[in-house]
Amino acid sequence: MTDDTGGVLSKPYRALSIGIVSVVLLIAFEATAVGTAMPIAARELDGVSLYAFAFSGYFTTSLFGMVLSGQWADRRGPLGPLATGIALFAAGLLLSGTAGAMWLFIAGRAVQGLGGGLVIVGLYVIVSRAYPEHLRPSIMAAFAASWVVPSVVGPLISGTVTEHLGWRWVFVGIPVLVLAPLALALPAIRRTASGPVDPDAPVAAFDRRRIRLALGISLGAGLLQYAGQELRWLSLVPAAIGAAVLVPAVLGLLPKGTYRAARGLPSVVLLRGVAAGSFIAAESFVPLMLVTQRGLSPTMAGLSLAVGGATWALGSYVQSRPRMEPYRARLVASGMVLVAASILAAPTVLIEGVPVWVVGVAWGFGCFGMGMVIASTSVLLLRLSAPADAGSNSAALQISDGLSNVLLLAAGGAAFAALGGGTVGAGHGAGEATGSHPAAFVAVFVPMAVVALAGAWVGTRLQGPRTEHPAEVPAPDETGLVVTDVVTDVRMDVLSDTAPDTASDVRTDARADG
């Protein structure tokens, strides 16, 4: 039997912990580095007008990948989706890095997104199978901490490589680095988390209805993003089609009761989306506001948020302490209040007399709150999920995360443009959006603060009746590990046993703060 009294770096878990945390570290570096190189790539490929699609292409395919990974992991174990996802992620980077045209570059991003969706759910299921419940908060805190260094040095390294070697090296250099941590973790994954939860049970077929719903959610999200790029009457057509496809798919994939904040898993899933969407939508406009309204350089504007990586990890660490466990619901509600306050404080720098460092301090507190909230939702997901539903529930959590990002970003972007915000996303630099009206930024930050504050109320409804599943379920004899729930933190996910079907459903990414 494996001794589970040690930490995540004790002998039974050391290779696995180092391997999967290193994978997250490289994904974090990719997320921060590629974002820096993207504008140069779009300009050299004569594709600035298609710039936004390099991001939306990644997002829409990752949604489908999350659902597929959940079904795959529930039925055959997480090793297959994880290995396939890493291979597709690397292939997408290589395709984008060698692209000679913008459409090929976007295709590479789409392949990369599919791989990213497979990986993120696979990691969650691995944590649920390989680690006992008392170690999951610690491994999630390690995932969060792995974003700290990339969030600070990623843009600087990427900018240096882009300037001296060219933007292509930012894309083609990362895949090779993934091989070492993957090789380190694979033996431990095979030993502790491979195969179905019950090897003697017949393997269920993939749920084709779920796959169709996953395609619908990806297509609908893509159409809504496309419509949000063009504020014309004609854009109402793709917007209407996107909504008609998206809404039924979301209702079919998320836990029953999610949008009325039913207690337990539905509220956990809803809170993940509320927290991630409001914070990311607001954060996307902070550098632009500092550049266009206060005259900071793009590098300084980005670095003003760098402290957030450290405080996010600190928040995740705080929630991982055993003494905090009885107060998890209070931690989550307090974290959402901090998030709302930080979003509301950011636009105060539009007042000339307010120093710009106020944004950095406010965002540090906001990231601390996010660290507690995001990690806690993952912990609660695992606690409230049966082992056989790990993939499905993780997929649901990620879908809520990712979908809220695109919808709230689209809403914020539309409000910004409508109030004289200028063109966003087609370029980076002070000179490209200097016509932005200060009120346009207020129209983004204030509604997002309200959404975050609503999340504090949702945080009071996370503890559902503990009758769904036992707290712990023994793993197969040969592993000696406790098998419960599912988790991982770089932004991942959940579903409930009240949702239609078990197996994998829906589940998102990462973000550069852990």
Condensed to tens digits (0 to 9), the pLDDT of residues 316-362 reads: 889 888 888 888 888 999 999 999 999 999 999 999 889 999 999 99
Predicted confidence at residue 66, as pLDDT, reads: 85
The residue type found at 242 is G
pLDDT above 70: residue 495: no
Cβ-based neighbours of 461, under 8 Å, separated by 6 or more: 261, 262, 263, 264, 267
Mean predicted confidence (pLDDT) in 135-159:
78
What are the C-alpha distances in Å from 433 to residues 239, 420, 462?
26, 10, 41
What is the sign of the dihedral through the CA atoms of 33, 376, 304 and 356? positive
Give the tens place of pLDDT for each residue, 282-315.
887 887 788 778 887 666 776 677 778 788 889 9
202 band by pLDDT with thresholds 50, 70 and 90: low
201 or 440, greater pLDDT: 440
478: helix, strand or coil: coil
Predicted confidence at residue 302, as pLDDT, reads: 65
Give the tens place of pLDDT for each residue, 149-177.
777 777 777 777 877 888 898 888 877 77
Task: Quote the CA–CA distance of 130 and 475 in Å, as a whole number.
Answer: 9
Torsion, Cα 104 105 108 113, to 10 degrees, reads -130
The two structure tokens encoding residue 62? 């990752």
Contact yes or no for 224/405 (Cβ under 8 A): no
Predicted confidence at residue 60, as pLDDT, reads: 79
Q: Whose CA is closest to 257, among 267, 271, 243?
A: 267
Contact yes or no for 513/370 (Cβ under 8 A): yes
Mean pLDDT, all residues of the chain: 77
Q: Which residues of 401-432 are buried (b: 16+ CB within 10 A; e: fewer)?
A: bbbbbbbbbbbbbbbbbebebbebbbebebeb
Cα 452 to the center of its chain, rounded Å: 17
Torsion, Cα 87 89 92 97, to 10 degrees, reads -110
pTM of the model: 0.67
22 or 388, greater pLDDT: 22
The two structure tokens encoding residue 173? 């250099």
Terminal C-alpha separation, the chain: 33
Least confident of 6-10, 15-19, 434-438: 434-438
